[in-house]
Amino acid sequence: KAGVTQTPRYLIKTRGQQVTLSCSPISGHRSVSWYQQTPGQGLQFLFEYFSETQRNKGNFPGRFSGRQFSNSRSEMNVSTLELGDSALYLCASSLEGGGIQYFGAGTRLSVL
């Protein structure tokens, strides 16, 4: 059974640009959660999507958004990038959200 797949693995952008990250969950999993990991703040919850609806949202500005498609694949978008957005972005999938979450390898975003 394939794991959680995140693309791309690495991204380099400049301030002011926007970026879209993709996450394909484990087959049969309907919940996708996104996290940002930085050395200073650790792993922080961004948002969760379930059945194409955002079910939970963390404390991040509106520049961070996401969506989920009917096949449960999810994308997150960051607009007007700032230097502080440089981080490892992780997505995790679970059957319906409340159980075990399995993480993808992450997308490392560098903003110059």
Task: Determine contact, residues 58/64, Cβ cutoff 8 Å.
Answer: no
Residues 50-89 interacting with another protein (rule: CB under 8 A):
50, 55-56, 58, 88
Span interacting with another protein, options 16-24, 28-36, 59-67, 78-86, rule CB under 8 A: 28-36
Which pair of tokens denotes residue 94? 């679970």
Task: Determine contact, residues 47/63, Cβ cutoff 8 Å.
Answer: no
Per the listing, tokens 């993808």 go with 104
Per the listing, tokens 């700032």 go with 82
Of residues 43, 51, 82, 84, which one binds another protein by CB under 8 A? 43
Of residues 11, 26, 48, 66, which one binds another protein by CB under 8 A? 48
The amino acid present at 68, given as its one-letter code, is Q
Contact residues: another protein, CB under 8 A: 31-33, 35, 42-45, 48, 50, 55-56, 58, 88, 90, 92, 94, 96-106
